[in-house]
Structure 1
Amino acid sequence: MKKLFLIIGAPGSGKTTDAQIIAQNNPEEIVHYSTGDLLREEVASGSQRGQLINSFVSKGNLVPLEIVVETIVGAIQRAPKENVIIDGYPRSVEQMEALDKVLKDRDDVQLVSVIEVEVSEQVACDRVLGRARGDDDNVEVFKNRMKVYLEPLNEIEAFYNQSNLLTKINGERTIEEIVADIEAHIRTKL
């Protein structure tokens, strides 16, 4: 059975970097995927699902939830390791519910933990604007991304808390401290 770990956090919380480092530190046991990368890989594969995804993305449309969830679950099934970290998912209540519905019908993948990397809006903003990787790294775009992140957060937290799956990690420390805490938490579930 595959064990799934989700890492969520605000833009600039460091969730992707944290997940990458943990997977690098544990190459025998853990693999890391980002949702965007999974969708791009599916398109690049030329598969039927990839063509379907491309038909939405190429027109600037959102990929339907069912397809996103099927892509994620398919990647988990094919993962070369038993333990899979996915960062940045779920981003909405609908995404959370869709994943929960699919996982309830499966006995080969188990959601083991949802880890929230907590940072203040100010710290997140300073980090995003400090890295300035592209046109979308400006105050206006950051505020919108933060709003999109925060709107469903209480409901997502409540849902995973009720299932005793949510763990919060202080993301306002050194990357070494944050990674050590997340890694220690994951190790308790392996």
Structure 2
Amino acid sequence: MKKLFLIIGAPGSGKTTDAEMIAARNSDAIVHYSTGDLLRAEVASGSERGMRIDSFISRGMIVPIEIAIETITSAIKAAPSDVILFDGYPRSFEQMNELDKFLQHDTSIVLESVIEVVVSEEVARDRVLGRSRGADDKEEVFNNRMNVYTEPLSTIQAFYEEKNLLQKINGERSIDAIVDEMEAFIKTKI
């Protein structure tokens, strides 16, 4: 049985870096996937799907749900270990509902927890605009991405809190402190 941990947070919250470090420390037992990395890899492949994905990502918009769900569930099922950290998902009420429906029907995957890496908008903005990775680093696109993240956030939080699955972690500390806390929490669940 696959144990799934979703890691959510604002753009620039550090969620991908945190998950990568935990997976690297536990490479025999934990694998990490980033929705963004999976989607960017598809764009880089030059495929027709990649071009469709790029038309959304380049504007800071959410990729259509059917593409995101297909990408995520394929990666989970093909994962080389039973503990999967998946960051950057869900990013909308619809994505959350579709994933929930999928997990209700596929009993080979259990959602263990949703970990939210909490940072202020100011910290997120400073981090994102201070790095350069592409079109998503422009202020206008950052503002759009931040709105896309924050608009459904309270609904997503309430949904997972009701299921007793939401765990919040302060993302405004040193990377080591954040990663140590997140890793310790994950290990209590596996």
Q: TM-score range by the shorter chain?
A: 0.7 to 0.9
Q: TM-score, normalised by structure 2?
A: 0.88
Distance 1:75 1:133 in 2: 24
TM-score of the aligned structures, taking structure 1 as reference length: 0.88
Equivalences for residues 38-187 of structure 1 within 5 A: 38-39=38-39, 53-54=49-50, 56-57=52-53, 60=55, 64-187=64-187
Corresponding residue number in structure 1 for 2:6: 6
Q: Give the Cα separation in 2 of the matches to 1:41 and 1:150.
A: 25
Of all paired residues, the percent bearing the same amino acid is 62
Any idea what the Cα deviations from partners look like across 1:45-70, whole Å, max 9, x if unmatched?
A: 99xxx76x347337x25754233213
How many residues get paired?
A: 185
Helix, strand or coil for the counterpart of 1:89? Answer: coil
- The residue type paired with residue 25 of structure 1 is R
DSSP 3-state at the match of 1:19: helix
Which consecutive segments of 4 or more residues in structure 1 shift more than 6 A?
Answer: 42-46
Amino acid at match of 2:147: K
In structure 1, what is the Cα distance between the partners aligned to 2:169 and 2:52? 35
Counterpart CA distance in 2 for 1:135 and 1:67 is 21
Amino acid at match of 1:27: S
Q: Which residue of 2 aligns with 1:36?
A: 36
Aligned to 1:27: 27
**What is the CA-CA distance between 1:35 and the residue it aligns to?**
1.5
Deviations 1:132-182 (A, max 9, x none): 333432333222211111000000000000000000000000000000011
CA positional deviation for 1:125: 1.1
Look up the equivalent residue of 1:56 and give its one-letter code.
Answer: R
Q: Quote how far apart the aligned CAs of 1:41 are.
A: 5.4
C-alpha distance 36-121 of structure 1, shift in aligned 2 (>3 A): closer
Summarize deviations over 1:5-30 as a string: whole Å, max 9, x none: 00000011000000100000100110
Given that 2:2 and 2:82 are in contact with CA atoms closer than 8 Å, whether structure 1 keeps it comes out as yes
